């Protein structure tokens, strides 16, 4: 984009220079025609330059808005997966399993209490001298539905598999497994899907972006199948919470 703009600006300056030379040296009979043609060319190139810059500004604005919506959905997926792992000690491998879990599962609310109890073995060993040992008692206080804890009265979790913007009918890719015995998961969607209706050259450029304040790579994702990580790959300026 920058190269194109610089080229157009140089052409415009050269054209202005040519207009000046014509005005100074070309005979008056043909001067008006050539001058008009060149000024038309100048305005045309200026218009192309403006539209190039404005088009990219519009693209970035739309991109940021769509990314923000997708990130919120990815955070819902992550929260649901972390809740699933809390109860099942692993991550869900598909969305049907994950949605059913959110819809039906419950968190157990417990309370831990330190106490002392008689140690029968040590009491016997010490000839009947009552001997105590420390112990922890876990009391079950209540059961809270996962759905209420994560989403309250909102049923948006039932559509967490659907990409909320971009290509109609698109769904997130999700997989889960373990890495050296530690549960891992990953949910992702390609930028091509989110920006499917935008100019291809701008989308291709976005897929190659590398910057500290941008979403690097060709997809938005949360979690990883290659490392123990449940973070998203977006920078903080796209989301209040990582």
Element holding 60 (H helix, E strand): helix 31-88
209 DSSP 8-state letter: -
| Inside any domain, residue 15 | yes
| Inside any domain, residue 84 | yes
> Are the C-beta atoms of residues 83 and 230 closer than 8 Å to each other?
no
| Inside any domain, residue 168 | yes
CA 189 to each of CA 8, 164, 172, 232: distance values in angstroms, whole numbers, following the listed order = 36, 11, 5, 12
d(CA 140, CA 130): 30
Domain shared by 180 and 219, yes or no:
yes
Cα-based angle 237, 239, 240 (whole degrees, multiple of 5):
100
Helices (H) and strands (E) in the chain, counts: 7, 5
Looking up tokens 């990953």 gives: 186
- In the chain, how many domains are there? 2
Domain shared by 177 and 78, yes or no:
yes
Span of 111-120, 122-131, 172-181 with lowest mean pLDDT: 111-120
Rg (CA), the chain: 32
Per-residue pLDDT tens digits for 28-47: 677 677 667 767 776 776 66
| Inside any domain, residue 187 | yes
Domain shared by 202 and 98, yes or no:
yes
- The stretch 127-139 carries a mean pLDDT of 63
Looking up tokens 């009552």 gives: 130
Q: Is the pLDDT of residue 141 over 90?
A: no
Domain shared by 49 and 74, yes or no:
no
Print the domain residue range for 83. 63-104+147-238
d(CA 216, CA 210): 5
Domain shared by 52 and 67, yes or no:
no
Domain shared by 95 and 171, yes or no:
yes
Q: What percent of the chain has pLDDT over 70?
A: 69
Per-residue pLDDT tens digits for 73-86: 999 999 999 999 99
| Inside any domain, residue 133 | no
Domain shared by 49 and 89, yes or no:
no
What pTM, to 2 d.p., does this model score?
A: 0.71
Give the pairing type, strands 106-118 and 182-190.
unpaired
d(CA 33, CA 119): 110
């Amino acid at each position: 984009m920058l190269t194109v703009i610089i080229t157009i600006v140089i052409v415009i300056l050269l054209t202005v220079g040519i207009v000046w030379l014509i005005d100074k040296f070309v005979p008056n009979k043909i001067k008006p025609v050539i001058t008009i043609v060149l000024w038309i060319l100048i305005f045309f190139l200026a218009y192309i330059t403006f539209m190039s810059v404005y088009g990219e500004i519009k693209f970035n604005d739309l991109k940021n808005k769509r990314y923000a919506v997708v990130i919120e959905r990815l955070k819902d997926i992550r929260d649901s997966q972390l809740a699933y792992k809390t109860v099942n000690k692993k991550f869900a491998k598909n969305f049907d399993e994950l949605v059913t879990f959110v819809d039906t599962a419950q968190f157990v609310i417990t309370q831990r209490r330190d106490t002392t109890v008689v140690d029968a073995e040590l009491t016997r060993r010490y000839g009947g001298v009552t001997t105590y040992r420390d112990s922890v008692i876990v009391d079950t206080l209540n059961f809270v539905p996962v759905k209420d804890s994560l989403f309250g009265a909102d049923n948006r979790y039932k559509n967490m598999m659907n990409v909320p913007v971009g290509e109609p009918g698109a769904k997130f890719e999700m997989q889960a497994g373990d890495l050296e015995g530690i549960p891992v998961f990953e949910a992702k969607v390609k930028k091509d899907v989110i920006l499917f209706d935008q100019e291809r050259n701008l989308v291709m450029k976005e897929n190659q972006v590398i910057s500290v304040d941008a979403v690097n790579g060709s997809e938005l994702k949360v979690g990883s199948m290659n490392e123990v990580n449940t973070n998203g790959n977006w920078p903080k300026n796209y989301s209040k919470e990582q």
